[in-house]
Amino acid sequence: MSSNDTLDNKCPSCGANVKFNPKSQRWDCEYCGSSFDVSAFKNEENECIEHWEQYTCKNCGAIVICDINTTATECVYCGNTTIIKDRLQGEFKPDKIIPFKTVKEDAIESFKNLVKKKFFAPKTFSNKDNIEKITGIYIPFWLFDGNVFAEFNIDGKKTHSWRSGDYIYTETETYDVVRSGEEIFIDVPVDGSTKFNDIIMDSIEPYEYGDFKEFNKSYLAGFLAERYDQKSDDVYSRAKERIENTISEEIMKTVTGYSSISVKNSKINIAKGRPEYALLPVWMLNVKYNEEYYTFAMNGQTGKCVGNIPIDVDQVIKKSTIFFAICEVLTFIFCYVLGGAL
C-alpha cells in the first residue's frame, strides 16, 4: 500500500478523522460528536479525504497504518510504540517537551472520582470498557513570547450623597485616570491541532514549565503523539487575545478608590518573539452516550482534570422518587412521635 492510498475521511465539522460505524452505517467523529452519512463525503478528489501512510513495526513486523499527523502510534498486534521519525524532522521537530508525570491509573482514578461527584451520572459511564480507552497523548502546542506595553485612559467617578431636610443631594466628581505598564510574557500556550477542543486544552492548564526538557523521541515511548496541523501564525490570534486580556486585568486592578470606572481608550503593543513548538502530556477519553460524545481530559503532568458528564434521566427519576419516599417516611415518624408526646 502506498502513502497516497486514502483510507479514511475528515470530519466536515472539525477536521478530525471519522470512523465508519458498521451498526449505524454512518461515520462518527470521536472529537466533536458529529455523525454523518455517505452523502457528506465526495469522491477521492474531495479535499476532506485524509492521506494515510504505513510503517513496519520493528518489534513484530506488523504493518502500522496512521494518518499524516501522527508521530507516535501503537502496534495493535504487540502493543509496541512506533515512533515515526520523519514526522519529527525539520519544521515538525519539537523544540521541547514536558514528559508525563502521571500514569494511566492516576487518570482512571480521577475519571472515577469525577463521575462519582455527578449524582445523576449513568451507571455504565465509568465501566471497565470505557475506562480502558483512556489514552496518554502528547498534544502539539505553540508557545509564544511577547514584550508588552499598554496604556489606558480611564474615566473614574467618585459619587457622594447626603440628605438635607427633605432633599437628597448627590455630588459626582470625574477624574481622568491614566495607567501604563510593561510586562514580559513567556511561553503562552496555544494548542496547534484542530483535533482537540481548545476550551478543554485551556482548562487543564497551567503546566509547570520547570519540567521542560529538550525534545527527545525517547519520551514518546508508551504514548501516542500528534504533530501540529495549524502553524504558529494560524493560532497566534488566540495567544494575542490571552496576553491582551491578562495585561488589561492587571492594569485595571490598579485603578481603585472610585465609585465607577470606564475605559475611554486603550493601546496595547506586543513585540512578539520567535514561537517555540512543544509537546505537552494529556490523558484523554471520549465516551459515547445516547449518540453524543463526552470528553474527559487530564493534565499528564499536574493531574488537573476536566470533563463533561451526562445526566441519566432514569437515574434522576429513580433517585428523586427514593428521596421523596424517605422524606415522607421521616415526616410520618416525626408527626407520630410528636403526636404521642402531646
- In which band, very low, low, confident or very high, does the pLDDT at 239 lie, cut at 50, 70 and 90? very high
User: What cell does 85 get?
Assistant: 521519525
- pLDDT, tens digit, for every residue of 318-337? 555 655 556 666 665 666 55
- In which band, very low, low, confident or very high, does the pLDDT at 2 lie, cut at 50, 70 and 90? very low
**Range 188-199 burial, b when 16+ CB lie within 10 A, else e:** bbbbbbbbbbee
- pLDDT, tens digit, for every residue of 118-132? 766 777 777 887 788
More reliable by pLDDT, 332 or 14: 14
Rounded to two decimals, the pTM is 0.70
Cite the DSSP H helix spans in 33-182: 104-116, 128-131
**Strands of 68-214, DSSP E:** 70-74, 81-83, 96-97, 135-164, 167-191, 213-214
Residues whose CB falls within 8 Å of the CB of residue 337, separated by 6 or more in sequence, listed in order = none
Report whether 178 contacts 137 (CB < 8 A).
no
Residue with cell 451498526: 23
Q: What pairing do the DSSP bridges indicate for beta strands 63-67 and 49-56?
A: antiparallel
29-38, 190-199, 282-291, 294-303: which has the minimum mean pLDDT?
29-38
- pLDDT, tens digit, for every residue of 174-188? 999 999 999 999 999
- In which band, very low, low, confident or very high, does the pLDDT at 295 lie, cut at 50, 70 and 90? confident
The confidence score (pLDDT) of residue 324 equals 55
79-88, 132-141, 275-284: which has the minimum mean pLDDT?
79-88
Angle at CA 281, nearest 5°, toward 183 and 78?
A: 165
| Mean pLDDT for the stretch of residues 49-66 | 61
Report whether 224 contacts 137 (CB < 8 A).
yes
Per cent of the chain over pLDDT 90 is 43
Q: How far apart are CA 67 and CA 84, in angstroms?
A: 11
* CB hemisphere CA count around 25 (13 angstroms): 2
- pLDDT, tens digit, for every residue of 96-114? 999 999 989 999 999 988 8
φ/ψ bin of 15: left (φ > 0), alpha (ψ from -120 to 50), beta (otherwise): left
- pLDDT, tens digit, for every residue of 142-179? 999 999 999 999 999 999 999 988 899 999 999 999 99
Alpha-carbon Rg for the chain in angstroms: 28
My answer on whether omega of the bond before 22 falls inside 30° of 0, hence cis, is no
Could you tell me the residue ranges of all domains in the chain? 312-342
Please report the sign of the dihedral spanned by the C-alpha atoms of residue 109, residue 114, residue 115, residue 117: positive
The confidence score (pLDDT) of residue 70 equals 74
Q: Is the pLDDT of residue 228 over 80?
A: yes
Q: Is the pLDDT of residue 81 over 90?
A: no
Of the candidates 92, 294, 36, which has an alpha carbon nearest to the alpha carbon of residue 10? 36
21-25, 59-63, 263-267: which has the minimum mean pLDDT?
59-63
What is the H or E stretch that residue 196 is in? none
| Mean pLDDT for the stretch of residues 28-43 | 70
Q: How far apart are CA 190 and CA 199, in angstroms?
A: 10
